[in-house]
């Protein structure tokens, strides 16, 4: 390797490292604090590694607070949202990609237009509507607004449009109903897209603070990020160790899930036509 | 040809928007027949097949299956099997599951089809046994027994083709529709699969309808060929009919390995006595052979020796290019030399110059 190229490589590597550090620093600091004993958290010197691993922060977060409840709520809401999203988005996408009907282009145009509308715009009307029918402060209030997903329909449609229609004709000849074709043929084929979509959906709704803050006041329904707020209020901020332990617990499922599905995730994105 | 008509298309027309893809097509498929739908791409033969299958609906006209109008019936209700050009195997299912799917849909109800849980449904065990038995039998016929656990992606083209046939065969359908099933195979495999298809046809004794653009395939396998040109049936008949008595010049040009020579009246054949002056004369290259006392002469330009025969490219004195076929032992003269060509009168095809329709001159047999 010539000195010039070596320099170029080192420079880009250094820049990447700095960028990664800047992004990861709060996260690393959180993990570090979660493992530090109480007396080491507020010291004048910066000490990344604790002198001893302090598990009591985690025990406290898991036993003396509602963090397990928040985690459970998070799972219920996220799984509920994802299940309903797929239940509706896949048949819609199949119809848009492989069925001919009047207004198909228009409807697909509307789906694309809906992609451009941020959720915050519709949040207030939805809040008012939910207040009218009295389902605020329920799991449904947390799940229903996200069930119709323009992004999901778009992603699945782009994926299914690439599947040759002969395959679905063959399924019709074999005696599958349109519903059976969607779930037995189209959905298994769209698995890479579904994985990518699941990661998007789970990340967005696990981390969502905006809507739970509006739709629920009951701490028993709090999703993890909402729960952290309750936690901080109650503990008046001086118990940073367990707070950080709770935060680490809440982010861990996503990090682990992403690491497990990383390969499928990127493949699904490529196949979904978002890349290249 | 007295056997019963299994499927009939009566004046079937199909329009997509403003364009008419099929124009009053009449087709009869008889019991036990092997029908080839032959035509260039875009002539409507695949649309005809899709209408037969019930995947597409005619804009006008009737589809009769065993005498009954099946316009509103789905492909499955008609119990017609179809093999697609791309094979259309389900990539996420094994060969066994691919072949079993039509039976799964027929013999198991929605609950029994649920993976795992469905095994608890009453009666599902016997149904599953039946399915396994039928799939195994079909796989044996098509020599797929060793491949049953494989996924389609790991199969060769010929094997995929067999799986697609197996999926059609396992249902015991009333008829088979095949949409250019051999076009994705290499030349040698194609010839092999051709004879396999013919023996499969004999074995099942069900009518086959076979779409192809390759007249050799159609001639080799079918007992009825339907030539389609621009959305219309140009001619239907046995391979020999089509070869010996093409109904118009386009059919004549389509049928035959070496394309037929057409002579306008002023192309130098006009001196042949007794034919309508205005007729277009068609002579197949294989009926045009060098003969000492031939009807007319042409200068030799090219000669392709193929072993059993030699294909001669010639040019008449009026500048018209023609093809003739000489026996393999014909001593090819030097290029540029004059060759006398002879043809027996009954091998001439006469067509109307305007309409292109066959003229039945009394001397043409």
**What is the full DSSP assignment across B308-335?**
SEEEEEEEETTS-EEEEEEETT--PPPT
Q: Does residue A165 lie within any of the structural domains?
A: yes
Taking Cα atoms as reference points, which of B311, B35, B335, B346 lies closest to residue B177?
Answer: B35
Residues A156 and A138 in one domain: yes
User: A150 and A44 share a domain?
Assistant: no
Between chains, do A172 and B92 touch, taking CB under 8 Å as contact? no
Confidence of residue B110 (pLDDT cuts 50, 70, 90): confident
Rounded to a whole number, what is the distance in Å from the CA of A170 to chain B's nearest CA? 6
Q: What size, in residues, is chain A?
A: 276
User: Domain check: are A221 and A115 in the same one?
Assistant: yes
Residue B232 · residue B209 · CB < 8 Å: no
**Token duo for residue B106:** 């027929």
Indicate whether A263 belongs to any domain: yes
Judge whether B183 and B151 are in contact, CB under 8 Å.
Answer: no
Contact B101 A167 (CB under 8 A): no
Q: Domain B5-249 belongs to what topology?
A: Rossmann fold (3.40.50)
Q: What per-residue confidence (pLDDT) applies to B275?
A: 61
Q: What is the CATH number of the domain that holds A249?
A: 1.10.3720.10
Average pLDDT for chain B: 86
Q: Which of A167, A176, A189 sits opposite B105 (nearest CB)?
A: A176
A166 inside 8 A of chain B by CB:
yes
CB contact under 8 A, B88 and A174: no
Q: Is residue A220 part of a domain?
A: yes
Mean pLDDT of B140-155: 90
Residue B26 in 3-state DSSP? strand
Is pLDDT above 90 for B143? Answer: no
pLDDT tens digits for B165-181? 999 999 889 999 999 98
C-alpha–C-alpha distance, residues A153 and A107, integer Å: 11
Quick: pLDDT tens for B64-100.
998 889 988 888 889 999 999 888 999 999 999 999 9
Are the CB atoms for A132 and B51 separated by under 8 Å?
no
Which of A34, A54, A74 corresponds to the end of one domain?
A54
- Per-window interface: B 158-177 vs A, CB < 8 A: 167, 171
Residue B363 has pLDDT above 50, yes or no: no
Q: In this structure, what token pair is assigned to residue A185? A: 């043929």
pLDDT, mean of residues A201-218: 91
pLDDT at residue B365, as a whole number: 38
Say yes or no: A50 and A179 in one domain: no
The pLDDT value recorded for residue B1 is 47
Residue B347, Cβ density class (10 Å: 0-12 exposed, 13-18 middle, ≥19 buried)? middle
Looking at residue B357, what DSSP letter applies?
A: B
Buried-exposed string B326-339: b where 16+ CB fall within 10 A, e elsewhere: beeebebeeeeeeb
Instruction: Answer whether B91 touches A (CB < 8 Å).
Output: yes
pLDDT digits (tens, 9 = 90+) for A34-93: 888 877 777 777 777 877 887 888 888 888 888 889 999 999 999 999 999 999 999 999
| Per-residue pLDDT, A88 | 96
Looking at the domain assignment, is residue A276 inside a domain? no
| Amino acid B236: pLDDT | 92
A67 and A50 in a common domain? no
Angle at A191 between CA A187 and CA A196, to 5 degrees: 125
Task: Determine whether the interchain pair B53/A173 forms a contact, defined as Cβ–Cβ distance below 8 Å.
Answer: yes
Rounded CA separation B317/A199 (Å): 77
Kindly state the tokens that stand for B249. Answer: 């010049």
pLDDT, residue A77, reads 95
Query: Residue B82: its pLDDT value, please?
Result: 93
Residue B195 forms contact with A (CB below 8 Å) = no
Q: Report the run of H or E that residue B67 belongs to, with start and end.
A: none
Residue B327: φ, ψ to 5°: -60, 160
Pair A24, A79 in one domain: no
Q: What mean pLDDT is predicted for residues A196-219?
A: 90
Residue A107's pLDDT is 95
pLDDT band at A232 (very low <50, low <70, confident <90, very high): confident
Contacts of A172 in chain B (CB under 8 A): 55, 74-76
Check residue A39 and give its pLDDT.
77
Are both A112 and A170 inside the same structural domain?
Answer: yes
| pLDDT band with cut points at 50, 70 and 90 for residue A152 | very high
pLDDT at A22 over 90: yes
Tell whether the model's pLDDT for residue A178 goes beyond 80: yes
Distance from CA of B70 to the nearest CA of A (A): 15
Cβ pair B105:A174 closer than 8 A: yes
User: What is the pLDDT, as a whole number, of residue B273?
Assistant: 53
Residue B271, pLDDT above cutoff 60: no
Same domain, A210 and A107: yes
* Closest-CA residue to B163 (of B142, B194, B186, B189): B142
Q: Is A228 in the same domain as A252?
A: yes
Is A164 at the interface with chain B, CB within 8 A? yes
Q: Which of A173, A185, A189 sits opposite B76 (nearest CB)?
A: A173
What domain range includes position A29?
A: 3-54
Radius of gyration of chain A (CA): 23
Same domain, residue pair A35 and A76: no
Structural domain count, chain A: 2
Indicate if A143 and A34 belong to the same structural domain: no
Percent of chain A whose predicted confidence (pLDDT) is above 90: 52
Q: Any chain B CB within 8 A of the CB of A193?
A: no
Q: Does B49 touch chain A (CB under 8 A)?
A: no
The answer to whether the Cβ–Cβ distance between B76 and A189 falls below 8 Å is no
Residue B343 near residue B272, CB atoms below 8 Å: no
**3-state SS class at A26:** helix
Distance separating alpha carbons of residues B283 and B313, to the nearest angstrom: 14
From chain B, the residues in CB contact with A189 under 8 A are 91-92
- The average pLDDT across B185-196 equals 87
Q: Which residue has the tokens 């007295």?
A: B2
Q: Where are the alpha helices (DSSP H) in chain B?
A: 45-53, 75-78, 95-107, 124-141, 157-169, 187-204, 215-221, 239-244, 249-254
Look at A175 and B102 and tell me if their CB atoms are within 8 Å. yes
What is the Cα Rg of chain B in Å?
25
Fold of B258-352: OB fold (Dihydrolipoamide Acetyltransferase, E2P) (2.40.50)
* CA–centroid distance for A210 within its chain: 14
Percent of chain B, pLDDT > 90? 36
Q: Are strands B80-83 and B175-179 parallel, antiparallel or unpaired?
A: parallel
Is the CB of A171 inside 8 Å of chain B's CB atoms? Answer: yes
Task: Tell me whether A189 touches chain B (CB under 8 Å).
Answer: yes
Distances (CA, A) of A5 to A12, A15, A253, B242, B306: 11, 15, 40, 73, 62
A194 and chain B in contact, CB less than 8 A: no
Domain boundaries, given as residue ranges, for chain B: 5-249, 258-352
A27 and A117 in a common domain: no
Give the per-residue pLDDT at B2.
58
Compute the count of residue pairs across chains A and B with CB atoms less than 8 Å apart. Answer: 51
Residue A170 touches partner B, C-beta closer than 8 Å: yes
Q: A273: pLDDT confidence band, cut at 50, 70 and 90?
A: very low
Which residue of B lies nearest to A167 if distances are taken between CA atoms? Answer: B88
Q: Does A26 touch chain B (CB under 8 A)?
A: no
| B260 close to B348: Cβ distance less than 8 angstroms | no
The larger pLDDT score, comparing residue B237 to residue B115, is at B237
Q: How far is CA A252 from the centre of its chain?
A: 13
Decide if A33 touches B, using CB distance below 8 A. no
- Weakest-pLDDT range from A115-119, A148-152, B228-232, B293-297: B293-297
In this prediction, residue A265 carries a pLDDT of 63
């Amino acid at each position: 390797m010539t000195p010039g190229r070596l320099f170029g490589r080192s420079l880009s590597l250094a820049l990447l490292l700095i960028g990664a550090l800047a992004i990861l620093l709060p996260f690393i600091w959180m993990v570090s604090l979660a493992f530090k004993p109480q007396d080491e958290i507020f010291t004048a010197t910066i000490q990344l590694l604790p002198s001893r691993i302090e598990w009591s922060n985690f025990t406290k977060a898991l036993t003396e607070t509602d963090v397990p409840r928040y985690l459970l709520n998070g799972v219920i809401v996220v799984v509920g949202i994802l299940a309903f999203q797929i239940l509706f988005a896949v048949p819609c996408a199949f119809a848009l990609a492989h069925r001919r009907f009047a207004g198909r282009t228009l409807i697909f145009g509307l789906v694309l237009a809906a992609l451009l509308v941020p959720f915050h715009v519709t949040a207030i009307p939805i809040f008012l509507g939910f207040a009218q029918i009295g389902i605020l402060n329920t799991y449904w209030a947390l799940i229903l607004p996200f069930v119709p997903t323009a992004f999901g329909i778009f992603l699945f449609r782009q994926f299914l449009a690439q599947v040759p229609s002969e395959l679905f004709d063959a399924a019709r000849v074999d005696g599958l109903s349109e519903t059976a074709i969607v779930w037995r043929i189209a959905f298994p084929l769209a698995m890479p897209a579904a994985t990518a979509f699941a990661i998007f959906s789970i990340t967005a709704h696990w981390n969502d603070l905006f809507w739970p803050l509006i739709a629920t006041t009951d701490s028993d329904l709090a999703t993890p990020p909402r729960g952290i707020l309750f936690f901080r209020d109650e503990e008046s901020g001086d118990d940073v160790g367990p707070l950080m332990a709770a935060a680490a617990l809440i982010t861990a499922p996503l990090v682990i899930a992403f690491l497990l599905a990383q390969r499928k995730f990127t493949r699904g994105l490529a196949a979904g036509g978002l890349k290249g | 040809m007295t056997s019963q008509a299994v499927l009939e298309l009566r004046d079937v027309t199909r329009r997509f928007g403003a364009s008419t893809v099929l124009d009053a097509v009449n087709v009869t498929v008889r019991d036990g027949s092997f029908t080839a739908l032959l035509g260039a791409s875009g002539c409507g033969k695949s649309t005809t097949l899709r209408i037969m299958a019930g995947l597409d609906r005619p804009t006008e006209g009737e589809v009769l299956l065993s005498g009954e109008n099946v316009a509103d019936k789905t492909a499955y209700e008609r119990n017609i099997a179809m093999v697609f050009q791309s094979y259309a195997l389900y990539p996420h299912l094994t060969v066994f599951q691919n072949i079993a799917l039509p039976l799964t849909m027929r013999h198991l109800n929605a609950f029994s089809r649920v993976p795992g849980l469905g095994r608890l449904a009453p009666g599902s065990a016997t149904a599953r046994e039946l399915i396994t038995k039928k799939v195994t039998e079909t796989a044996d016929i098509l020599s797929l027994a060793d491949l049953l656990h494989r996924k389609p992606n790991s199969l060769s083209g010929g094997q995929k083709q067999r799986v697609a046939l197996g999926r059609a065969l396992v249902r015991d359908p009333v008829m088979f529709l095949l949409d250019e099933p051999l076009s994705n195979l290499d030349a040698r495999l194609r010839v092999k699969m051709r004879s396999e298809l013919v023996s499969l046809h004999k074995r099942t004794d069900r009518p086959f309808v076979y779409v192809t653009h390759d007249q050799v395939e159609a001639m080799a396998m079918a007992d009825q060929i339907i030539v389609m040109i621009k959305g219309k049936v140009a001619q239907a008949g046995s391979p020999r009919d089509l070869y010996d008595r093409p109904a118009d010049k386009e059919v004549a040009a389509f049928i035959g390995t070496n394309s037929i020579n057409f002579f306008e009246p002023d192309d130098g054949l006009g001196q042949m006595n007794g034919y309508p002056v205005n007729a277009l004369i068609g002579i197949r290259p294989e009926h045009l052979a060098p003969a000492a006392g031939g009807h007319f002469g042409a200068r030799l330009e090219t000669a392709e020796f193929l072993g059993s025969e030699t294909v001669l490219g010639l040019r008449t004195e009026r500048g018209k290019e023609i093809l003739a076929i000489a026996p393999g032992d014909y001593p090819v003269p030097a290029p540029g030399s004059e060759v006398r060509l002879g043809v027996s009168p009954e091998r001439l095809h006469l067509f109307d110059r305007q309409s292109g329709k066959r003229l039945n001159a009394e001397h043409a047999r």
